[in-house]
């Protein structure tokens, strides 16, 4: 039985350096010739995209809110590397939904029986590190397998390592403080990879620091000694292409789950990427349109000035082109975003607020038959946006998992599904099947 070598890189809190450590380890192991697959806990798009594009490896999400434990294991084993899979945690190690921490990095690692390596930002601490380590070990019932420090100097590392030894926990090294390898953030997370200056140089330096100061051999041995996991049923071969879907993909529309796209392709959808920022028209001979989330608000002028594309998108959707628009894609279809003209498919204006809107996981119930759902169907969704709309829709009810609060949302018809909630297709593949059926119907009737 394969053991799927794996490590979960978890943290004490957001901002402790999990992503930095994950990027460093990926770079070091790829440089060694290991085939690495990355995973990101939770619904985050940005870190997973960063891993994929910066290191040129596959990266998938692991989310136990979207998936059952059995489905989570299946999803992992289908995509895990035979050499090494690195799982980056989310927030603090135990942080999830509710006091029980559902969906936390710890819960996901336990489900996958992945060795846990705790990242600690050692800045401004000395002996207090012992109390921190002792608390995490106690709360996790001694299931933490090692520690990596960030933001400390080589001079202080021996002291930090000694604290680990005194608490009988393995220390695998540290990533020293270095302002030249920092990655900036914005209101939804890390800035996009295309915006990072000298990305290759930064990653190369980070890799060198990791090779110098981290016990890579020890971590690989830990990963290889993980408990065996029963592999899932072999993934089905992709179906022959039956429909073609235009996928908005550029710096303005970059929030896509890799597994969403793979599921579409597996079921026979031919994806054609295009750029609403640069392309003056939609790809030819398409049967559907997918406008994912992203940062259209950062590119308002460029999107607005592409008037030929705005006009075509509006006309094609009005003519019945099956369309899915999530969050940023939903903003794009409005008449205005921050008073800048957009597609104008429906009246309404989107403006940025000073706090997150409808944040978190929710259960979405469809009030109508539409392009993705039959009336009464439910699915789990996630929202993470600061923008609010004067036209959020009334086709669905979303009930938040954290507080039970309900709100109406989504504009849905038999050819359109547009709203702020993000969808994770593997959690309910039936939405993909129905979307494909509508695209097939459009293809048949548009060519007659």
Q: 78 vs 55, 61, 74, 75, CA distance in Å?
A: 20, 13, 6, 5
Q: In the Cβ-directed half-sphere of 68, how many Cα atoms lie within 13 Å?
A: 3
Tell me the two tokens of residue 192: 């996009």
The closest alpha carbon to 325, from 361, 301, 350, belongs to 350
Q: Which of 171, 327, 350, 409 is catalytic?
A: 327
- Answer for the pair 327, 334: CB distance below 8 angstroms, yes or no: no
Phi, psi of 245 (to 5 degrees): -120, 125
- Answer for the pair 347, 395: CB distance below 8 angstroms, yes or no: no
Report which secondary-structure segment, H or E, holds 300.
Answer: helix 300-305
- What is the C-alpha to C-alpha distance for residues 339 and 329, in angstroms, rounded to an integer? 17
CA 119-123-125 angle, to 5 degrees, is: 100
Indicate left, alpha or beta for 175 from its phi (over 0: left) and psi (-120 to 50: alpha): beta
Tell me the two tokens of residue 164: 């680990």
- What is the C-alpha to C-alpha distance for residues 196 and 268, in angstroms, rounded to an integer? 35
The closest alpha carbon to 63, from 111, 98, 19, belongs to 111
164 is catalytic: no
Q: Buried (b) or exposed (e) across 309-347, using 16+ Cβ within 10 A?
A: bbeebbeebeebbbbbbbbbbbbbbbbbbeebebbebbe
Residues serving a catalytic function are 327
């Amino acid at each position: 039985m394969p053991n799927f070598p794996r490590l979960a890189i978890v943290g004490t809190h957001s901002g402790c350096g999990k992503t930095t450590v994950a990027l460093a380890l990926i770079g070091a192991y790829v440089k060694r010739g290991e085939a690495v697959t990355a995973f990101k806990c939770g619904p985050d798009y940005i870190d997973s995209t960063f891993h994929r594009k910066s290191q040129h490896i596959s990266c998938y999400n692991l989310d136990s809110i979207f998936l059952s434990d059995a489905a989570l294991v299946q999803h992992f084993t289908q995509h895990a590397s035979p050499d090494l899979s690195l799982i980056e945690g989310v927030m603090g190690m135990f942080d999830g939904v509710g006091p029980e921490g559902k969906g936390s990095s710890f819960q996901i690692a336990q489900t996958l029986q992945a060795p846990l390596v705790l990242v600690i930002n050692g800045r401004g601490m000395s002996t207090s590190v012992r109390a921190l380590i002792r608390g995490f070990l106690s709360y996790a019932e001694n299931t933490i397998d090692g520690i990596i420090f960030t933001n400390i100097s080589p001079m202080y590392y021996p002291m930090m390592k000694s604290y680990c030894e005194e608490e009988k926990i393995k220390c695998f090294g540290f990533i020293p403080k270095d302002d030249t390898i920092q990655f900036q953030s914005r209101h939804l997370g890390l800035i996009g990879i295309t915006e990072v200056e000298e990305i290759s140089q930064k990653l190369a330096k980070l890799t060198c620091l990791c090779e110098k100061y981290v016990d890579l051999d020890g971590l690989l041995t830990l990963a290889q000694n993980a408990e065996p996991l029963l592999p899932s049923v072999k993934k089905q071969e992709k179906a022959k292409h039956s429909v073609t879907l235009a996928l908005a993909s550029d710096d303005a529309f970059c929030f896509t789950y890799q597994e969403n796209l793979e599921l579409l392709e597996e079921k026979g959808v031919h994806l054609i990427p295009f750029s609403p920022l640069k392309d003056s028209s939609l790809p030819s001979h398409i049967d559907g349109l997918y406008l994912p989330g992203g940062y259209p608000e950062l590119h308002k002028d460029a999107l607005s000035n592409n008037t030929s594309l705005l006009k075509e998108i509006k006309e094609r959707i009005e003519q019945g082109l099956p369309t899915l628009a999530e969050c940023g894609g939903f903003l794009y279809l409005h008449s205005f975003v921050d008073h800048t003209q957009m597609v104008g498919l429906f009246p309404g204006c989107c403006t940025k607020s000073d706090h997150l809107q409808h944040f978190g996981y929710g259960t979405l119930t469809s009030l109508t038959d539409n392009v993705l759902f039959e009336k009464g169907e439910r699915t789990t969704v996630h929202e993470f946006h600061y923008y609010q709309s004067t036209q959020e829709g009334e086709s669905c009810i979303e009930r938040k998992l954290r507080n039970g609060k309900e709100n109406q949302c989504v504009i849905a018809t038999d050819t359109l599904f547009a709203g702020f909630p993000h969808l994770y297709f593997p959690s309910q593949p039936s939405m993909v099947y129905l979307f494909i059926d509508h695209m097939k119907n459009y293809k048949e009737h548009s060519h007659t």
